[in-house]
Amino acid sequence: MTTDDTDTIDGDAAASSDETTATSAEGDESAANRARTPGGGAAPEPEPIEPAAPEEFGLVQAWWGDGKGKTTAAMGMGFRAAGHGYRVHMLQFMKGGADSVEGVRGEYNAIAAMPGFSYENAGHYGWHGLLDGSGDDEHAAKASAAFERAEELVAGAGDADLTEPLPLNGDPDEGVHMLVLDEVLYAADRGLVDPDDVVALAESKPENLELVLTGSHAEPAYLEGVADLITNVRKVAHPFDAGHRARRGTEY
């Protein structure tokens, strides 16, 4: 073997050693990064749902816009929170039923089957401002009663220790970790609820209550500086524009 051959072999061995060292270092760094993640880098697995208390709840969220998905997003967060054992309640404004949908909604069935998640509907039949046989005064009365109910639920949360687990089947009046006021912004946009009252409710909530507000195609500018998260769900295309009606399993 010549000197040149020996030099080549030694050089290849050194390069291989450097690559091994680099690969090992990268592996160590990757393992260290995974270890710093909440799940330690392990693939998540389902676990039994047991009562628990969130460590970082307490924000105000607002979901508005002319696109589909505001209520869906709020309920998705509700299911996620309930899956961690947190107590969640949804109070629906404005959704008392209409001739375009059936008498049952898939979300109600799903919520009823989910530990820790409950709901109540405070809407009037039909839609405010439309010639569908429903009276606007009745819509106003329902919305006013729903807002009073929202105030009761916020007060109940204020009397509870939200840093502790709450019974999964407990009365929502005795405290919840997340309260979803679905379509309350729509009620405010229609003048059925005073926007100033919505602001006052958000500002009066207990520190650890996660308050989620949805609805309205118009921007709720009154929530700027009040809500921690404001999301505009913008429509690019919608099947309703092509004449489709509400579909079972997607809209109700």
d(CA 206, CA 237): 39
- The pLDDT score that the predictor gives to residue 131 is 45
- The pLDDT score that the predictor gives to residue 129 is 52
CA 84 to chain centre: 13
d(CA 212, CA 202): 10
- The pLDDT score that the predictor gives to residue 28 is 66
pLDDT in tens, 91-109: 999 865 555 555 667 899 9
Highest mean pLDDT among 92-106, 117-131, 233-247: 233-247
pLDDT in tens, 45-81: 889 999 999 999 999 999 999 999 999 999 999 999 9
pLDDT in tens, 33-53: 777 777 777 788 889 999 999
* Predicted confidence band of residue 172 (pLDDT cuts 50, 70, 90): very high
- The pLDDT score that the predictor gives to residue 128 is 47
Of 115-129, 152-166, 168-182, which range is least confident? 115-129
Task: List Cα–Cα distances, 120 to 21, 63, 88, 186, 212, in angstroms.
Answer: 61, 19, 12, 17, 15
Q: What percent of the chain has pLDDT over 70?
A: 77
d(CA 239, CA 252): 15
Classify the C-alpha dihedral 145-230-180-177 as positive or negative.
Answer: negative
Which alpha helices (H) appear in 84-135, and where do they start and end? 106-112
pTM for the predicted model, two decimal places: 0.80
- Residue 222 pLDDT exceeds 70: yes
Of the candidates 77, 59, 57, 54, which has an alpha carbon nearest to the alpha carbon of residue 230?
59
